[in-house]
Amino acid sequence: MLEAIGAGILTGLVLATFIGPIFFAIVDLGLKGNIKGAAYLAFGTFISDILWVLLIYALARQADRDSLLMQVMYVAGGGVLVVLGLQNLLKAKATEVHTQMDQKGQWSLFAKGFLINSSNPNIFFFWFGAIMVALRKYSSHSELVLVHFFSALLVSFSTDFLKGYAASLLRPYMHPKVLAYLGRLSGLILIYFGLKLVFFH
């Protein structure tokens, strides 16, 4: 049991080192002082990861990286990232986000985290590889597989939130123009990841 927990924590830490669209989106919110928003974004990512793990665990032995379904997912996922990037890029200016958000704003960030994470095939491949390793390691002990991935998901969610909190500590040193440039940079990065998925997968 302890071995499964330790291996799960390591899996979560490896995922936390990925520098991708979710990382930049959470840091952007943290720099704007929107810790609650970063938490909702991280929670959306967390739910997406749970669904990925459940789906891949059920279909691990049948997945085919070269299938038509995977090609469609690349294009659809890239399109989602491009749209989200354009939304950031076309904003007139960076504005402070109030700590108290309305319910619509909260769930909008949750949906953004969920969509960005779900549309990234690299996340699929990561969980696919991790699950195959776990299935081979724990054999028929499904309860150990569950403990392994519960630990991994918990660590991944915690580190995502901490990224936003750490960025918020830098907020007093950031000027509005810097935040505006950061927002545009975040948009460009999202567009880059989207175009890369569509044309260079």
What pLDDT score does 114 carry? 93
Share of the chain above pLDDT 90, in %: 10
Q: Per-residue b/e over 126-159, b at no fewer than 16 CB within 10 Å? A: bbbebbeebbeebeeeeebbbbbbbbbbebbbeb
Residues 69-89: tens digit of each pLDDT: 657 766 776 787 788 778 777
Q: Per-residue b/e over 58-69, b at no fewer than 16 CB within 10 Å? A: eeeeebeeeeee
DSSP assignment of 164-181, as one string?
HHHHHHTGGG--HHHHHH
Biggest CA-to-CA distance, the chain: 56
Whether the predicted model's global pTM rises above the 0.85 cut: no
More confident residue, 13 or 91: 13
Residues 104-143: tens digit of each pLDDT: 577 888 998 899 888 887 788 778 778 777 877 776 677 8
Q: What does the alpha-carbon distance between residue 10 and residue 107 come to, in Å, rounded to a whole number?
A: 30
Residues 157-177: tens digit of each pLDDT: 888 888 888 877 766 665 667
